[in-house]
Amino acid sequence: MSTFLGIPRKHAAQEESPLRGTLPFPKAARKELANGQLRRNLAHATSVIRTKRAQVVDEMPDWEALRDAGAATKTQVMSNLPALLEQFEANVIARGGVVHWATDAQEANRIVTDLVRAQGVDEVIKVKSMATQEIGLNEYLEDNGIAAVETDLAELIVQLGHDKPSHILVPAIHRNRTEVRDIFLAEMADAPADLTDEPRRLAMAAREHLRRKFLRSKVAISGTNFGIAETGTIGVVESEGNGRMCVTLPDTLITVMGIEKILPTFTDLEVFLQLLPRSSTGERMNPYTSLWTGVTPGDGPQNFHLILLDNGRTNALADQVGRAALHCIRCSACLNVCPVYERTGGHAYGSVYPGPIGAVLTPQLTGMHGHGDVNSTLPYASSLCGACYDVCPVKIPIPDLLVELRGRAVDADRGRTIPGGWDAAMKAASWIMSNPTRFAAVEKGLAAGRLVAGKDQKIKHLPFPGSAWTHSKDMPAPPKQTFRQWWKQTHPDTDQPGGPA
């Protein structure tokens, strides 16, 4: 059976952790690079978002001051997180909410499932939430006989397409509208038979499909963009209105929130509600900003449960360097400017957090466990061009974090009983370069490389182990004359530099 209560079942082949893929980044990226349609979709979408962001940011004379304020607030939060969380919990409880603490994904999923079962339902609606994707909530609910209906349009496309999100903000960025139409016709039972790929027609079909879900659902699950410690207020920002429906219509609302999403005071929203929409969708303000505080008798959900999720965040917080990754407000600006992401897309990262921020945040959440851990390859998924830092609204030093994590990945491999190819190459290079005679002999031997160079003076194919390099990079042909030979010819009366020729 391909569906469960009208919702597509996951495929067995997709049994992998939401924070850890099955392939190291280079292999996964190579696979994605072969998809020409994917690359065209990504190039178009990211360029449009980049242009919109640049336009609305240029309107702000105090943009850099806002970035500084956002960065300072996040630094303050990380320095005082335990106290802020306790204040937040007390204020949520005081206003009628129930607070649950979850150490990891398993505990969070169990809490949500128990809460849904307590309401006697087998279907829930969801507003887009990175935290619930991170813990694999939809799959866990399905395994326990509960269907979770995604109400964000892009998330619905991903769900109906038996797919995985590829972008933090625009999960279906890798799909074009013709593909979306085909998915709707194949998977949405109530889609019009004459549905076209016109965006308006697609949106109307999704709206009709979801409206019935909104009106009959008793339980909704949401994430959150911000939690205000001072008041116990939760905030969700979105562009479609589906979030507003989820957090107001059902009787029970369950919110899953990463513990780093705290802001100290309500006035801090003034900064972040300017930074986030401009950095994410290129808008001056969010079309829908929903804020709620606990339970209001007779208005909105009468049962509110908040799950505060750790899932590796306290480990990241304990890292004085790596904790900067927790400053992220999930705007996705870094993805839209990253040349690596634009070419490979989000699936190559193997994590629900792709792109530059995913390359530093995912290893912080999961840890890097030696040479065989695919997440140890993520910090290398970057050219270190620095564009990600330039656009980050809270000034996360992503290039610095990438370099730091690369160093840790290398350090974790030191002292292995059987050295890897890279270790062996570096040890051989060290042995050669530590002796002038050996170094000069190898220089002379390199001249043979000219025999395998092409007319363009590039070496493109070498046998193993050199093929590990030429498989992905060209190598310039050696010069006709080494530096030592040139020196001996032009300075016959002086000593050879660095020792004998």
Tell me, yes or no, whether 305 and 320 share the same domain: no
Task: Give DSSP secondary structure letters for 125-192.
Answer: EE---HHHHHTTHHHHHHHTT-EEEE-SHHHHHHHHTT----SSS-TTTT--HHHHHHHHHHH-TTS-
User: What CA dihedral angle connects 341, 346, 349 and 352, to 10 degrees?
Assistant: 140
- Residues 299 and 341 occupy one common structural domain: no
Residue 212 maps to which CATH number?
Answer: 3.40.50.10420
Q: Is it the case that residue 72 has pLDDT exceeding 90?
A: yes
**Given a cut of 50, is residue 27 above it in pLDDT?**
yes
Q: Residue 83 pLDDT more than 80?
A: yes
* 348 and 256 part of one domain: no
Both 242 and 194 in a single domain?
Answer: yes
Q: Is the pLDDT of residue 75 over 60?
A: yes
Report yes or no on 42 lying in a domain: yes
Question: Does residue 319 share a domain with residue 300?
Answer: no
Q: Does some domain include residue 20?
A: no
By percentage, how much of the chain surpasses pLDDT 90?
A: 74
Number of domains in the chain: 3
* Among 17-26, 160-169, 437-446, the least confident range: 437-446
Sign of CA dihedral 431, 433, 437, 440: positive
Instruction: Tell me, yes or no, whether 149 and 169 share the same domain.
Output: yes
Distance of CA 243 to the CA centre of its chain: 21
User: What is 347-361 written as a DSSP string?
Assistant: GGG-SSS-HHHHHHH
pTM: 0.86
Is residue 317 a contact partner of residue 365, using CB atoms and an 8 Å limit?
A: no
223 and 122 in a single domain? The answer is: yes
Average pLDDT, the chain: 91
Which amino acid, residue 466?
A: G
d(CA 240, CA 99): 28
Neighbours of 58 (CB within 10 A): 10
Contacts (Cβ under 8 Å, ≥6 apart) of 5: 122, 123, 147
Q: How far is it, in rounded angstroms, from Cα 356 to Cα 333?
A: 10
Same domain, 127 and 264: yes
pLDDT in tens, 84-132: 999 999 999 999 999 999 999 999 999 999 999 999 999 999 998 999 9
Q: Which residues pair with 3 in a beta bridge?
A: 8
- Nearest-CA neighbor of 5 among 130, 174, 144, 186? 144
Q: Is the pLDDT of residue 14 over 80?
A: no
Q: Is residue 301 part of a domain?
A: yes
Domain identity same for 438 and 401: no
Instruction: Give the mean model confidence (pLDDT) for residues 7-33.
Output: 75
**Calpha distance 216→437 (Å, rounded):** 82
* Nearby residues of 142 by Cβ (< 8 Å), 6 or more positions away: 4, 7, 9, 10, 148
- Residue 205 neighbours by CB distance under 10 Å: 20
| Boundaries of domain holding 78 | 38-311
Q: Shortest CA distance to 365 belongs to which of 406, 421, 325?
A: 325
Has residue 422 got a pLDDT over 80?
Answer: no
305 and 206 in a common domain:
yes
Task: Name the more confident of 75 and 478.
Answer: 75
Question: How is residue 2 written in tokens?
Answer: 């391909």
pLDDT at 460: 86
Helices and strands, counts by H and E, the chain: 22, 14
Q: Dump the DSSP string for 483-495.
A: HHHHHHHH-TTSP
Buried b (16+ CB within 10 A) or exposed e, 233-253: bbbbbbbbebbbbbbebbebb
- 51, pLDDT greater than 70: yes
| Residue 470 lies inside a defined structural domain of this protein | yes
Task: Give the end of a domain, one of 311, 328, 353.
Answer: 311
Structure tokens at 125: 């609606």
Would you state the pLDDT for residue 11? 38
Residue 148 forms part of a structural domain: yes
Q: Is there a single domain that holds both residue 319 and residue 340?
A: yes
Domain-embedded: residue 4: no
Confirm whether 425 is domain-assigned: no
User: How much is the CA Rg of the chain, to the nearest whole Å?
Assistant: 27
Task: Name residue, tokens 């960065």.
Answer: 71
Alpha carbon 492 to chain centroid distance? 60
Q: How confident is the model over 232-243, as a mean pLDDT?
A: 94
Q: Which of 474, 123, 118, 89 is nearest to 259 (CA)?
A: 89
Cα–Cα dist 166/345, whole Å: 6
Domain endpoint, select from 267, 291, 311: 311
- What CATH number has the domain bearing residue 361? 1.10.1060.10
**Single residue among 276, 296, 311 that ends a domain in this structure:** 311
- Same structural domain for residues 247 and 389? no
Whether residue 423 is contained in a domain is answered as: no
